[in-house]
Amino acid sequence: MILVTGATGFVGRALIKRLVADSTPSSVLAAIRGFGDVGYGVQTVQVGDLLNSIDWSPALKGVSAVVHCAGRVHVMLDVTADPLEAYRQVNVRGTLSLALQAAREGVRRFVFISSIKVNGEATVLNHPFKADDMPLPIDPYGVSKLEAEKGLRDIELSTGMEVVIIRPPLIYGPGVNANFASMLTWLARGIPLPLGAIQNLRSMVALDNLVDLLVNCLTHPDVAGQTLLVSDGEDISTTELLRLTGQVMGKAALLIPLPVSLLKISAAFLGKQAMVQRLTDSLQVDIEKTRCLIGWSPPITLKQGLVKAVMGMRL
In tens digits, the chain (315 residues) has pLDDT values of: 999 999 989 999 999 999 999 987 779 999 988 766 788 888 888 887 777 788 899 899 999 999 999 998 866 556 677 889 999 999 999 999 999 999 999 999 999 999 999 999 999 999 999 999 999 999 999 999 999 999 999 999 999 999 999 999 999 999 888 788 888 899 999 999 999 999 999 999 999 999 999 999 999 999 999 999 999 999 999 999 999 999 999 989 999 999 999 998 888 888 888 888 999 999 999 999 999 999 999 999 999 999 999 988 765
Instruction: Give pLDDT, residue 46.
Output: 84
Q: Which residues contact 134 (CB under 8 A, 6 or more apart)?
A: none
Domains of the chain as residue ranges with CATH: 2-172+205-231+284-296 (3.40.50.720)
* pTM for the structure as a whole: 0.94
Q: Is 17 left (phi over 0), alpha (psi -120 to 50) or beta?
A: alpha
Among candidates 120, 107, 211, which has minimal Cα distance to 162? 107
Among candidates 25, 141, 116, 15, which has minimal Cα distance to 67? 15
Among candidates 145, 151, 37, which has minimal Cα distance to 102? 151
Backbone φ and ψ of 228, nearest 5°? -125, 145
Instruction: Give pLDDT, residue 314.
Output: 61
Alpha helix ranges (H) inside 47-204: 57-60, 83-87, 95-104, 140-159, 178-188
With b for 16 or more beta-carbon neighbours within 10 A and e for fewer, the 104-121 pattern comes to ebebbbbbbbbbbbbbbb
Q: Which of 40, 87, 141, 172 is catalytic?
A: 141
Q: Is 141 a catalytic residue?
A: yes
Instruction: Give pLDDT, residue 77.
Output: 55
Beta bridge partners of 167: 229
Among candidates 148, 113, 99, 143, which has minimal Cα distance to 11? 113
Cα gap 156→152, rounded to integer Å: 6
Cα gap 113→170, rounded to integer Å: 12
Instruction: Give pLDDT, residue 181.
Output: 87
- Cα–Cα distance list, 283 to 26, 56, 145, 232, 308 (Å): 40, 37, 18, 13, 23
**175, containing H or E segment:** none
Cα gap 34→42, rounded to integer Å: 15
Instruction: Give pLDDT, residue 78.
Output: 62
Among candidates 17, 20, 44, which has minimal Cα distance to 33? 44
Q: Is 191 left (phi over 0), alpha (psi -120 to 50) or beta?
A: beta
Beta bridge partners of 229: 167
